[in-house]
Amino acid sequence: MISKRKKIQKGCWLTGMTLIVSFLIFFYVSTKLTPPVPKDLSSLKLQRTRIDKDFYVCGNNWLKKNDHGLWELYLEGSAFERGVINGKLTKDLICKQEDAFVEEINQIIPSGFYLHFLKYLVAWFNRDIDKNIDPEYLLEIYGISLSASEKYNYIGPNYERILNYHAAHDIGHALQDYHFVGCTSFATWGTKSEDSTLLIARNFDFYVGDKFAEDKIVCFINPDKGYKFMMITWGGMIGAVSGMNEKGLTITMNAGKSEIPYEAATPISIIAREILQYAKNINEALTIAKKHRSFVSESIMIGSLEDNKTIIIEKTPLTTTMFSSDTDFIICSNHFQSNDLKNSDLNKQNIKESSSLYRYNRVLELLNSYPKINVINATEILRNRLGLNNKNIGMGNEKCINQLIAHHSVIFKPAQKIVWVSTNPWQLGEYVAYDLNKIFANFKGLKVKTEIITPSLTIPSDSFLLSSDYQNFLKYRKYKQLLVFFIKNVRYVQIPESLFAKFISTNPENYLTYMLAGEYFQKIKNYKKAIFYYNQALTKEIATFTEQNQIKENIAVCFKKISND
């Protein structure tokens, strides 16, 4: 009897192990991404040469850091060649960028178990990602991946990692609503522009930690197919988030509210890159957008010199439509405006719960305060730190146009082919100007470190940098980081109450100062103090409906705890 039972148990164990091994083999085969096979491998023989400090060349291609702290990169050739040379020139930046990204993910998700689970989840999501990306861009990504660091092989092979990172933006804001992306942009033309030509301005409020934004790359690409173009990017990234091509077509992206994706599609930055490289007008941009299915919802703002106007392509995984303004300006935040999508349940929820509509109305208010808009006016709007009716709602509030987190800020003048790019910190430093006509005509094969910006067009730094408020904001960020750490580790260490007065004094109009204080005191079970700070937070301009509800729920929990004691 015992022998028979053991045989049954052994049989069940063997069956179980067979199923597990079979599943693991199936998972590996299903999620494994095979690199494309380049036809010409000659670019692999090219070597990076250091000419000067922060200046490298590789054939006609080059990378250098300018005096304003921006990296500038020139690339030309076929897809695989561009990728290989990009990787060789920027290999240090790719490594540093991946370090920053992984470090921030570890901060957000400190659980090793959940990180491993998330790795496999992302691999499953993206198991067919290579089938949704044009072979040209797969070759370019593969070329870059050959220079990626080996130290993150535990996450995945180089090619798989770099490819999957192109979908990180999409999966991140769909899965967790971490508020990585809350961008604001606008455009004017005709009677609303000072010179009647098209002007496009945007803040790219994509935040994955301070280190991630340290090494921005202003990239100029002269491809063997399509149009020459520039874009603002970072190490290892070939997708476009902000850019302009030689035909005066511009593209900027603003995230929308999305459902959780259940299968791979085309990363939105790759769609934007194809538009930037191959479209010269609105119709061609819309045609490209329609042929791809996206992971997530996004507003893709297209400025077109040929059409002398700007429109917004609104894209969800199921719908691609266009919103066109009936005035000489257009505003884009993070909700949809087209007849096809504005009344969807998800969009209504987004308008109700997020800061998107507030920022839209604030841009409208600021645009109406100027008879006509020029580049200087546009900069002032992008840097504006106040709320509606010029109310002080706290530095860094998500409802501000300038949230003091921007990865970059940019202004385009397509008629002149000029781009202004912000320098650190955020959009407070100088905006330096690049003339695309001059760059593509004069700086191919650069061998001597040369300034390629147009100094006479530089926009000065924001005077806010010289203020005591700015110094207070820097202190606020440090206190905030410290407080978040203590909230997570309150069982091990507590902090003196005097610190809270100092913390609040650095940014007294921001609800977050009071909300975080409330969370700390709730954690140490000082519920009366927690209620006091939570109520203070409710008197301020709270960025999102979710946070407002959370504060009210926390107050109710604290009252319940007090009544039970």
**190, HSE (Cβ side, Cα atoms, 13 Å):** 12
Q: Model-level pTM?
A: 0.91
The secondary structure element, H or E, covering residue 441 is: helix 436-442
Distances (CA, A) of 28 to 33, 152, 302: 9, 18, 40
Q: 126: pLDDT confidence band, cut at 50, 70 and 90?
A: low
Q: Give the mean pLDDT of 445-457.
A: 96
Q: Of 80-84, 240-244, 416-420, 479-483, where does mean pLDDT reach its minimum?
A: 479-483
Q: 108: pLDDT confidence band, cut at 50, 70 and 90?
A: low
Cβ 413 vs Cβ 492: under 8 Å: no
pLDDT tens-digit series, residues 490-534: 776 678 888 899 999 999 999 999 999 999 999 999 999 999 999
Instruction: State the SS3 of 86-108.
Output: HHHHHHHHHHHHHHHHHHHHHHH
Q: 3: pLDDT confidence band, cut at 50, 70 and 90?
A: low
- What's the chain's average pLDDT? 89
pLDDT at 182 over 80: no
Burial class of residue 149, CB neighbours in 10 A (0-12, 13-18, 19+) = middle
Cβ 199 vs Cβ 412: under 8 Å: yes
Rg (CA), the chain: 25
pLDDT of residue 205: 92
- Give the separation between CA 251 and CA 422, rounded to whole angstroms: 17
All CATH 1.25.40.10 domain ranges of the chain, comma separated, are 468-564
- Give the separation between CA 313 and CA 129, rounded to whole angstroms: 23
All CATH 3.60.60.10 domain ranges of the chain, comma separated, are 42-464
Structure tokens at 84: 């290989």
Distances (CA, A) of 139 to 143, 458, 506: 6, 37, 49
Q: 366: pLDDT confidence band, cut at 50, 70 and 90?
A: very high
Residues 6+ apart with CB under 8 A from 169: 180, 181, 206, 255, 267, 268, 269
Q: 472: pLDDT confidence band, cut at 50, 70 and 90?
A: very high
Instruction: Given CATH 1.25.40.10, say whether it is the number of domain 468-564.
Output: yes
- Give the separation between CA 281 and CA 268, rounded to whole angstroms: 19
Task: Please measure the distance between the N-terminal and C-terminal CA atoms of the chain and give it in whole angstroms.
Answer: 59
Q: How far is CA 433 from the centre of its chain?
A: 22
pLDDT at 70 over 60: yes
Indicate the CATH number for domain 42-464. Answer: 3.60.60.10
pLDDT tens-digit series, residues 223-268: 999 999 999 999 999 999 999 999 999 999 998 877 666 667 899 9
